[in-house]
């Protein structure tokens, strides 16, 4: 019941896991290294916001460079690597397909990571494009696209080789995300970097890309994980599963328009901004279905399960943050509030929430589940897992709340009042930015715990002997025939 591989008979998952092992571990190892780099760069940027003397005078780590470098390490280094890892895992497990030619896949993964590293170094050297979430320099754009396409094609190949023809909800999101990212990336690169459009149409393209990257890559893969793990861990089907295909299409249709709300108040046509606001409101419909699907399942499964399963806890946090993020979009689109939230940390905090609170938390949970199964040994330390969860959750809540509160109550209200001088807003923000730095330290500690545990699991063979007998600490699971049921 609580055993590392109680879920599957070796006969079924054995060849799948064997073929997954190397590419998946390489993806995850790169993802983790990038996550640590992102933490370090992000901490430098966070400290500089309230202590401008920190690394002042060093051009390569001036705020305007180190901040986008941190964001891109997080998005492309951690986010895309971890996203591809979970996409590969979910596809292989749900379609029951093996990975062909894993060695070649590893080459593609190495190329992707070389591209990301080169891009981040390019940003630190001053080659950023300055478009939010798309700062990667011009010279790595096509390179990254090719490497990504190779990896994504492999996941699709696994799907094609699979024996299970039924597509579960997680697979819709995975397949669509795999396809959306290169679509978005090439359209945005073409219209902003290689053949740039004129004037503020650039801002429209940039907002379209940024929001869709967050929702169609990060949120979508996070949803895939939540749809997979809630029934898996709780051992019961998704509540109201028949509604989930409607939620998928409605989410996709409306969220692709919602990015225009980022332009509220900007010198772009008013109808564009209105369309963005309207789309944010329409997202309430799929949100209602998601709420029934996720919280209905969690409630039916008994909240006590949260105490037993760390995987479930990560997924529950992801589901809650996702809900709040969608509601935040509605609140931010309300006329009257847009003026208060526009151009403040409130909006930035929302972006962090979906990347970190939704996608990353779900991905952490997934790694805690899949790594022991791949390696057939238990996590070396249960304490480190718990530490990671609590550091990540506390840091997430503290950081997002600090930036949102400071963003509205100090920055938003200050900017809306002409009598408040900019210097006063700066002074008022210092407290909240200190809190955000503290949150960043907590997140970094969590990442360190995760990093140590993961590499001990992969590299220390002494845990191997105890594998068969040792329970997976804190990853307690019940068999879940329900998840597999629709596959038949």
Partner 1 sequence: MNRAPLIFLGAFLVLAFSWAGLVLTNQVGYGSLAPHFDDTENKAYPAQMAGPAAQGAAVYQDLGCAYCHTQQVRGGAQGADLTRLPKWGERDSYARDYLRDTRVQLGDLRVGPDLRNVGARDTDSTALYLHLYDPAHANPAWTMPSYNFLFEQRPITGEPSPLALKVPVAAGFEVLPTPRAVALVAYLLSLKDTYDYPDESQMNTPPAPPKTAAPAKGGPPVGATSVKSPASAATDAAKPAAAKP
Which 14-73 residues touch partner 1, going by CB under 8 A?
A: 48-50, 52-53, 56-59, 62-65, 67-68
Q: Which of 6, 8, 323, 348 binds partner 1 (CB under 8 A)?
A: 348
Least Å from the CB of residue 48 to partner 1: 6
Q: Which of 139, 300, 303, 424 binds partner 1 (CB under 8 A)?
A: 424
Contacting partner 1 within 239-278 (CB under 8 A): 245, 248-249, 252-253, 256-257, 259-260, 262, 265-270, 272-273, 275
Residue 25 vs 263, nearer CB to partner 1: 263
Contacting partner 1 within 154-173 (CB under 8 A): 156, 159-160, 165-167, 171-172
Contacting partner 1 within 74-113 (CB under 8 A): none
Contacting partner 1 within 200-229 (CB under 8 A): 200-205, 208, 212, 216
User: Is 153 one of the binding residues for partner 1 (CB under 8 A)?
Assistant: no
User: Is 10 one of the binding residues for partner 1 (CB under 8 A)?
Assistant: no
Least Å from the CB of residue 59 to partner 1: 5
Q: Which of 22, 36, 145, 176 binds partner 1 (CB under 8 A)?
A: 176
User: Is 334 one of the binding residues for partner 1 (CB under 8 A)?
Assistant: no
Q: How many residues sit close enough to partner 1 to count as binding (CB under 8 A)?
A: 90
Q: Which of 7, 98, 113, 129 binds partner 1 (CB under 8 A)?
A: 129
Residue 418 vs 469, nearer CB to partner 1: 418
> Among 4-12, 147-155, 174-182, 383-391, which window interacts with partner 1 (CB under 8 A)?
174-182
User: Is 149 one of the binding residues for partner 1 (CB under 8 A)?
Assistant: no
Report how far residue 116's alpha carbon sits from residue 139's, in angstroms, rounded to the nearest whole number.
Answer: 11
Residue 256 vs 394, nearer CB to partner 1: 256
Q: Which of 104, 107, 153, 197 binds partner 1 (CB under 8 A)?
A: 197
Least Å from the CB of residue 35 to partner 1: 22
């Amino acid at each position: 019941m609580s055993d590392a591989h109680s879920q599957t008979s070796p006969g079924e998952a054995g060849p799948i896991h064997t073929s997954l092992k190397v590419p998946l571990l390489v993806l995850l190892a790169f993802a983790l290294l990038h996550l640590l780099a992102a933490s370090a760069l992000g901490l430098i940027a966070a400290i500089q916001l309230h202590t401008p003397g920190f690394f002042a005078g060093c051009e390569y780590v001036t705020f305007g460079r180190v901040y986008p470098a941190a964001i891109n390490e997080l998005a492309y280094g951690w986010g895309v690597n971890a996203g591809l890892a979970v996409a590969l895992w979910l596809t292989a497990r749900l379609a029951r397909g093996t990975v062909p030619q894993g060695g070649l896949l590893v080459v593609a993964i190495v190329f992707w990571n070389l591209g990301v590293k080169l891009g981040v170094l390019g940003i630190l050297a001053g080659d950023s494009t300055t478009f939010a979430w798309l700062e990667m320099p011009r010279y790595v754009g096509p390179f990254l696209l090719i490497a990504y396409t190779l990896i994504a094609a492999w996941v699709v190949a696994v799907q094609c080789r699979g024996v299970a023809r039924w597509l579960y909800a997680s697979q819709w999101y995975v397949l669509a995300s795999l396809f959306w990212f290169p679509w978005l990336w090439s359209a945005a690169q073409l219209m902003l970097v290689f053949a740039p459009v004129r004037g503020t149409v650039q801002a429209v393209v940039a907002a379209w890309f940024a929001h869709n990257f967050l929702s169609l890559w990060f949120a979508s893969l996070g949803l895939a994980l939540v749809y997979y793990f809630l029934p898996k861990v709780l051992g019961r089907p998704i509540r109201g599963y028949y509604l989930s295909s409607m939620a998928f299409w409605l989410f996709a249709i409306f969220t692709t328009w919602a990015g225009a709300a980022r332009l509220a108040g900007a010198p772009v046509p008013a109808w564009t901004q209105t369309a963005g606001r309207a789309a944010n409101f329409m997202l309430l419909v799929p949100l209602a279905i998601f709420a029934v699907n996720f919280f209905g399942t969690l409630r039916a499964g008994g909240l006590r399960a949260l105490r037993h399963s760390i995987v479930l806890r990560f997924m529950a946090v992801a589901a809650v943050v996702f809900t709040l993020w969608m509601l935040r979009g509605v609140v931010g689109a309300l006329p009257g509030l847009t003026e208060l939230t526009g151009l403040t940390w409130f909006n930035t905090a929302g972006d962090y929430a979906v990347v970190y609170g939704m996608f990353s938390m779900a991905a952490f949970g997934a790694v805690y589940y899949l790594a022991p199964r791949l390696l057939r040994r238990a996590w070396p330390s249960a304490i480190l897992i718990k530490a990671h969860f609590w550091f990540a959750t506390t840091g997430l809540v503290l950081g997002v709340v600090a930036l949102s509160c400071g963003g509205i109550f100090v920055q938003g209200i200050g900017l809306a009042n002409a009598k408040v001088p900019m210097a006063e807003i700066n002074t008022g923000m210092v407290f909240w930015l200190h809190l955000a730095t503290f949150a960043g330290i907590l997140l970094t500690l969590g990442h360190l715990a995760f990093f140590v545990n993961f590499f001990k699991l992969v590299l220390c063979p002494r845990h191997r002997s105890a594998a068969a007998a040792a329970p997976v600490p804190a990853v307690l699971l019940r068999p879940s025939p329900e998840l597999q049921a629709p596959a038949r």
